[in-house]
Amino acid sequence: MSTPTNRPGSRKVAVYAILRVDLDVAQPDLAVAVVEVLPTPDEAEVEVRRLNRLNADKKCRYLWRVTRFFPDGRHPQDNPDDQ
C-alpha cells in the first residue's frame, strides 16, 4: 500500500489507523472500531500482525488504513482574540 508523505507547512498529517473488524456482529455499523492511531505505516503493520496473532481465536480481524489528522482542526477558525 502506498503511503503519503507529510509536506512541510501542510495543515494535515498522515497517520495510520488500526481498525478492528468484528466478524459476527449483526449491525454492520457496529462491526468496525478504531483501536489506535500510529505515526508510521511500519508501526501500524507490526501492531496489526501482533493483534491478529493475539486474537486469532476470536471472531475479529485487525487491519490498518492511512488517514489524515488535522492538528489545527479541519477548518481552523479565526483567533477569537483578534476580534
Q: Is 70 exceeded by the pLDDT of residue 77?
A: no
Residue with cell 492511512: 66
Asked whether residue 65 is assigned to any structural domain, the reply reads: yes
Q: What is the per-residue pLDDT for 33?
A: 97
Asked whether residue 47 is assigned to any structural domain, the reply reads: yes
Q: Is 50 exceeded by the pLDDT of residue 83?
A: no
Residue 79, sorted as left (phi over 0), alpha (psi -120 to 50) or beta, turns out to be beta
To the question of pTM greater than 0.85 for the whole model, the response is no
- What confidence category does residue 82 fall into, taking pLDDT thresholds of 50, 70 and 90? very low
What total number of domains does the chain contain? 1
Which residues is 32 bridged to in the sheet?
Answer: 21
Q: Is 90 exceeded by the pLDDT of residue 76?
A: no
Domain housing 64: 27-69
Best CA proximity match to 15, nearest among 54, 50, 60, 47: 47
Asked whether residue 46 is assigned to any structural domain, the reply reads: yes
Asked whether residue 39 is assigned to any structural domain, the reply reads: yes
- Determine the average pLDDT of the residues in 17-30: 94
Strand ranges across the sheet with 32-38: 32-38, 13-22, 60-69
